[in-house]
Amino acid sequence: MYTRRIFPVKGVIKWTRRHILLFLLLSTIPVILFDLLNWKWLHIPWLPVGVLGTAVAFLVSFKNNASYDRLWEARKIWGGIVNSSRSWTIMVKDFITNTHANAPLNDKELQSIKREIVHRHVAWLTALRYQLRASKPWEMHLKKEKSNADFRENHYVVLEDRIPIKEAIEPYLSLEEYNEVFAKGNKPSQILGVQSRRLKELKAQGLIEDFRHMEMTNLLVEFYTLQGKSERIKNFPYPRQYATLNYIFVWSFILLLPYGVMEGFEVIGDRVLGDLSTHKIKTDIMHRLQEFIARHFVWFSIPFSALLSWVFHTMEKIGENTENPFEGGPNDVPITNMSRGIEIDIRELIDDVNIPEPYVWKNDIIM
């Protein structure tokens, strides 16, 4: 997630620089044919192009709204994970006691059990974020498209791409649990299963009485629910028929746009020529310069066509890069940073030691 209040123009231009050059080229070719080769028939009436542009604007707006809804829902889900994690830790801290214990434990042993459960929860957070960061077929554009790949490589860091999941989870699980979790498919679900089994054992020892065990089990069910909601967004893409057709419509408008605006600029040039013809003095340099500009005024359509193409394409690209909020883009939900923040909070709640520092991110982009 980009943390600056104003996204830098330099970054946007660098992100889209290849397409800007392409739009300038696409806008220049028809002008050369129209003006230098005198193909005056090479134009399209603005009315159909304008109608198409209006329709494309509605489609782009619809896609961006839907993509933002997916992003905001993902953020609310992880906000729920933050709150539930703190509630879970308070329960671990206060519910595991010797009050009803069959064989009371000393303070050090109780602290060890609490630390074990909290660390297992951090392992669940870690496994979940790695699962959400894994690329799906419909997300590969973020890594394959040149502009996205360059921006990802040079402007920010996705830790899940650099640190293997086994290395990230190993410090939080025992060797037996580690082997059990990695022998199965859905690792976050397996960790919650181990957590539930451990609560059952503590209940049998009397370290958690029945009512408190039920409350903690309910919170585990909530974790499963939040995990399932995250997986729903991750595993179900923005409908491809909308995404593909939206892409085709935007490019149809971009390709037709230069042919629609040329005639309008030509008319402006002719009007300027008509005004200049009424001037009495026609030999001065300024008059000749104005006449030259007016005769070739159609060339001013190039920057305007490129600008409009850039606006429509960039908005479509923003929607495309927002529709999958966990894939690791610069404006996605920062689940890595949130996981580290949760870990620091809950480990401090139980007075744990060797608490990690918050992540330091590159170029004010947090992941």
pLDDT at residue number 330:
77
pLDDT digits (tens, 9 = 90+) for 57-66: 999 999 889 9
Query: Which residue pairs, CB below 8 angstroms and at least 24 apart, start in 263-270?
Result: 263/43, 263/45, 263/46, 264/46, 264/301, 265/297, 265/298, 265/299, 265/300, 265/301, 265/304, 266/34, 266/43, 266/297, 266/298, 268/297, 269/293, 269/294, 269/295, 269/296, 269/297, 269/298, 270/294
pLDDT digits (tens, 9 = 90+) for 149-177: 666 666 677 888 888 999 999 999 999 99
Beta bridge partners of 104: none
pLDDT digits (tens, 9 = 90+) for 63-82: 889 989 999 999 999 999 99
Range in 25-29, 83-87, 170-174, 294-298 the model is least confident about: 294-298
**CA max distance for the chain:** 111
Range in 72-76, 170-174, 287-291, 327-331 the model is least confident about: 287-291
Task: Answer yes or no: is pLDDT of 87 > 80.
Answer: yes
Owner of token pair 């491809």:
240
- Domain residues of the chain, as ranges? 24-364
Under the banding of pLDDT at 50, 70 and 90, the label for residue 273 is confident
pTM of the model: 0.85
Q: What is the mean pLDDT of residues 108-134?
A: 94
* CA dist., res. 339 & res. 127, Å (int): 10
pLDDT at residue number 359:
81
Burial class (CB in 10 A: 0-12, 13-18, 19+), 353: exposed
pLDDT digits (tens, 9 = 90+) for 91-106: 999 999 998 888 888 9
